[in-house]
Structure 1
Amino acid sequence: MTSVTPRLVATDLDGTIVRSDGTVSARTVAAFDRVRRAGALFVFVTGRPPRLMRDIAEAFGHHGLAICSNGALLYDMSRGEVVGENLIQPEELVEAARLLRTVIPGIGLAVEYAEGLTADELYEVGDWDRDVTIRRVGDSELFRHPAPKLIGRHPTLSADELLALAAPVLASIVTPYHANGERLVEAIATGVSKASALRELADRQGISPVGAIAFGDMPNDLPMLSWAGTSYGVANSHARVLELVDHVISSQDDDGVAEVLERLFPEVDLAGADR
């Protein structure tokens, strides 16, 4: 474990600090409050769009920043506003959709925005979509505007299988990845990732990778985990994450991230003395 107090703490949400029942423990909230009071920057780095960040912002007292949509959007949780974006352009959406439909027949496609979702008739509603009314539109409308993310869901193929088919044909147009096992493949603008967005933010704060730690659980976390000076994977992580990280910690349901932060950021009183 790193012995130097980090200047930047970056963590994925779902599967990492959000428990399998969808809650965030009081222990985890308290651990991130230690980070804030120590003067370090903490950033949530997630595949979620901003519309799904309201419960997280509430749990953490509307403190901190969130890199959303896998790096496409920067969201200020104190203001409840998107303050930065890296979008897929319409012509790229059109070509990526054409290729996905060619190599993965039967795939349904959707375009996700900060606060909404549009989709074709084949796109199957998933758990993350149940909070929003999906607009079913034709291709001319579906791909008309720049967007943070393109999503594909298949009736039977797993996320790993979808990514294996999509990555070879999409890599020069958009950045494909997957974040869960819901028969889902996703794509963001080329060159964009959790790592690229985190690196831009760290550069503006004068923080090098050596001063950063990162926590994650899924393949879309790998660029971020590789960038950070010290990386941690929760015990329930995807096998590729467990192979890469510097340290494997307790699972999402056992507050593994909080356990590490409690060690790295010991409690201090208002005078600065250790408790």
Structure 2
Amino acid sequence: MTPKTPRLIATDLDGTIIRSDGTISARTVAAFVRAERAGSQVVFVTGRPPGQMAGVVAAFGPHGTAICSNGAFVQDLRTSRVIEEHPIAITELTQAAKLLRELFPGIGLAIEYADELAGDPYYAPDDWDGDVVIQRLADDLLFGRPGHKLLGRHPELSADELLAAAGPVLGDLVTVYHSNGKRLIEANAAGVNKASALADLARRRGFDHADVAAFGDMPNDLPMLNWAGTSYGVANAHPDVLSAVDHVIGHHDEDGVSATLERLFPEGAHAEGGHAV
């Protein structure tokens, strides 16, 4: 069966349209432009905070909307301004941090904001954190204000192991997930995820879930993929994603998303090159 032509396209970035070398291909940019010219709207739905969206804007141009930090922020890409935010309240943030430390001795914790990252002395940064300098804070300051995303990096346990153990314990307190960061577990406020933010945005624009096609690769994408009318997982996706989506498409390094958009919106030729993000 040929998928319905989507009115709204929601796509993850890293591991989905951003390739392993950190670029977005010109072919992918052209495919999204084609979809927009055909009348479909595009929204980027990412785990990246707003402060790490400059490269994406450089590739696609300063237009459109991004849902960032897995639903904690909505950003207007024309102005780079955050227009909506959903932080974890201090009480829940403090309790979640306490439980993570009890579950996983030795874990390092950090709080992600729109363009800041603060952490305890044990949080080990990685490429996932971008170029932001970590503010090292004592607990009273680290958990003394609402935080948009709670991060926990363990010295040994994998992201899958962390999520399997933490999900049942923290699930009523915060939204727990991972997006394939090394030994990294992540959390947003309870009820906040990619699907909740995307559903709100779609409703405001007059779209139903059946109008939406979503693309992703990691467990943090599952709420969005399950909510969308049509879901696509790239071939490099996490096994849980591959088993959940309606369609498995090409690898992100082979421009699987753009190839799919070219089928949904057939016109024009392939562009060459790429944009570092």
TM-score calculated relative to the size of structure 1: 0.95
Determine the structure 2 residue equivalent to 1:233.
Answer: 233
Which segments of structure 1 move beyond 6 Å, counting only runs of 4 or more?
none
| Partner Cα separation in structure 1 for residue 95 and residue 181 of structure 2 | 25
| Partner Cα separation in structure 1 for residue 103 and residue 2 of structure 2 | 44
Percent sequence identity is: 62
Change (3 A) 1:100 1:195: same
Determine the structure 2 residue equivalent to 1:38.
Answer: 38
Aligned-pair CA distance for 1:3: 4.3
1:154 partnered with 2:154: yes
Q: Which AA in structure 2 matches 1:183?
A: R
CA RMSD of aligned residues (A): 1.1
Question: Which deviates the most, 122-131 or 186-195?
Answer: 122-131
| Partner Cα separation in structure 2 for residue 130 and residue 22 of structure 1 | 12
Maintained 8 Å contact 2:212/2:230: yes
Determine the structure 1 residue equivalent to 2:209.
Answer: 209
Aligned-pair CA distance for 1:64: 1.4
Aligned-pair CA distance for 1:267: 3.0
Q: Which AA in structure 2 matches 1:247?
A: H
Determine the structure 1 residue equivalent to 2:58.
Answer: 58
1:77 partnered with 2:77: yes
| Number of residue pairs aligned between Structure 1 and Structure 2 | 268
Aligned-pair CA distance for 1:171: 0.8
Determine the structure 1 residue equivalent to 2:249.
Answer: 249
Aligned-pair CA distance for 1:4: 3.0
Change (3 A) 1:152 1:3: closer
Q: Which AA in structure 1 matches 2:55?
A: D
1:169 partnered with 2:169: yes
| Partner Cα separation in structure 1 for residue 3 and residue 128 of structure 2 | 38
Determine the structure 1 residue equivalent to 2:265.
Answer: 265
1:93 partnered with 2:99: no
| Partner Cα separation in structure 2 for residue 6 and residue 163 of structure 1 | 32
Unaligned runs of 5+ in 1: 269-275
Change (3 A) 1:180 1:3: closer
Change (3 A) 1:2 1:62: farther
Determine the structure 2 residue equivalent to 1:49.
Answer: 49
Aligned-pair CA distance for 1:128: 2.4
Unaligned runs of 5+ in 2: 269-277
Maintained 8 Å contact 2:52/2:130: no
Aligned-pair CA distance for 1:146: 1.3
Structure 1 residues 130-166: Cα deviation after superposition (integer angstroms, max 9, x where no partner): 4111110101100111121000001111000111121
Q: Which AA in structure 2 matches 1:139?
A: D
1:15 partnered with 2:15: yes
Q: Which AA in structure 1 matches 2:229?
A: G
Maintained 8 Å contact 2:233/2:248: yes
Aligned-pair CA distance for 1:37: 1.5
Determine the structure 1 residue equivalent to 2:187.
Answer: 187
| Partner Cα separation in structure 2 for residue 134 and residue 29 of structure 1 | 32
Q: Which AA in structure 1 matches 2:43?
A: V
Structure 1 residues 201-237: Cα deviation after superposition (integer angstroms, max 9, x where no partner): 0000110111110000111111100111111100001
Structure 1 residues 52-97: Cα deviation after superposition (integer angstroms, max 9, x where no partner): 1100011001121110000110011111111111110011111000
Q: Which AA in structure 1 matches 2:125?
A: V
Maintained 8 Å contact 2:128/2:181: no
| Partner Cα separation in structure 2 for residue 135 and residue 180 of structure 1 | 23
Q: Which AA in structure 1 matches 2:100?
A: L
Maintained 8 Å contact 1:67/1:74: yes
Maintained 8 Å contact 1:2/1:230: no
